[in-house]
Structure formats: structure tokens, C-alpha cells
Amino acid sequence: MKIKRIDHVGIVVNNLSAAKEFFIDLGLELQGEARLEGEWLDKIVGLNNVKTEIVMFQSPDGHLNLELAKFVAPADESEVERPLANTLGIRHIAFVVEDIEAVVAKLKKKGVEFFSEIQTYEDSYKLCYLRGPEGIILELAEEIK
């Protein structure tokens, strides 16, 4: 047995439309939307009476599939967490972008929170961290040629 690839990354959100808009603005391509429910879904996720709405995205190069999911039922009434970059667990998703300065400027105009200004790593990457919708930490990276 061997793993072939990562199929997708799933992110659970409360405000699906705002998260969808954010990732479209970032440059991901909308692949589809669906409402899912049923016993089969209950068994997969280990919950009862699940009703969910999902939005699927793909990166322009086709290598990343991103799933946003809103659990309509059972809903999570917890407050959105705002973890720090060093909080244990899966913590961020990194996107390679073209013209990081333009991407950062566009996102700043929309009020996106950044951890710092763009930093250069060993003359190979320009990098920065930001907080996307509902506390999601993203890293932007531009390869320096």
C-alpha cells in the first residue's frame, strides 16, 4: 500500500459565502457547489443527521483541490478560533503566487489581517502570513528567480 497523492484539503467554515468570495479573490477556480446529507454522510463523518453545504475549488495549475464546508446540521456554535502560527495541529496552507506585492495590496484593501510585511528568505522566496476568513492562516510565497 502507498499513498498516491493528497486529494483535497477541507476547511469547515460558518460563513460559506464570505469564505467562497475570499478564495475566488485569491485566484482559486470554483469547481462546484453541493448540498449533502444522508446516512452515508453521517457514517463517513461520524455525526448524526448531517446536512452540509460544500464549495470545491482548484488551483489554476490543477494541483490543489480545496473544499469549504458549512455544517448546517449539526452546527458548531463555538466561536471561531484565532490560533497563532505556533499552535499545535494543522496550522496553515501555503500558496505560491505571482507578484506577491500585488496580491498583498489587493488583500489589504479588503481589510485582510497580515502577520507581517513581506519577508525574503535566502534569496529564494518572498513570504508572508495572513489570516483569511474565520481565522484560517495562509502563507503566500513568491519564488525569486
CA atoms of 52 and 68, how far apart (whole Å): 10
Q: In one letter, which amino acid is 94?
A: A
Give yes or no for a contact between 26 and 66, defined as CB atoms under 8 angstroms apart.
Answer: no
| CATH ID of 9-73, from 3.40.50.10490, 3.10.180.10, 3.30.2310.20, 1.20.140.10 | 3.10.180.10
Q: Is the pTM of this model over 0.85?
A: yes
Task: Please report, rounded to a whole number, the percentage of residues in the chain having pLDDT higher than 90.
Answer: 82
Task: Please report, rounded to a whole number, the percentage of residues in the chain having pLDDT higher than 70.
Answer: 100
For the stretch 31-59, pLDDT in tens is: 999 999 999 999 999 999 999 999 999 99
78 alpha-carbon distance from chain centroid: 19
**Average pLDDT rounded to a whole number, residues 105-129:** 95
DSSP string for residues in 72-100: EES---SPPP---TTSSS--EEEEE-S-H
Confidence tier at 6 by pLDDT (50, 70, 90): confident
| CATH ID of 92-143, from 2.60.120.10, 3.40.50.970, 3.30.70.1290, 3.10.180.10 | 3.10.180.10
Rounded mean pLDDT of the chain? Answer: 94
CA atoms of 4 and 20, how far apart (whole Å): 28
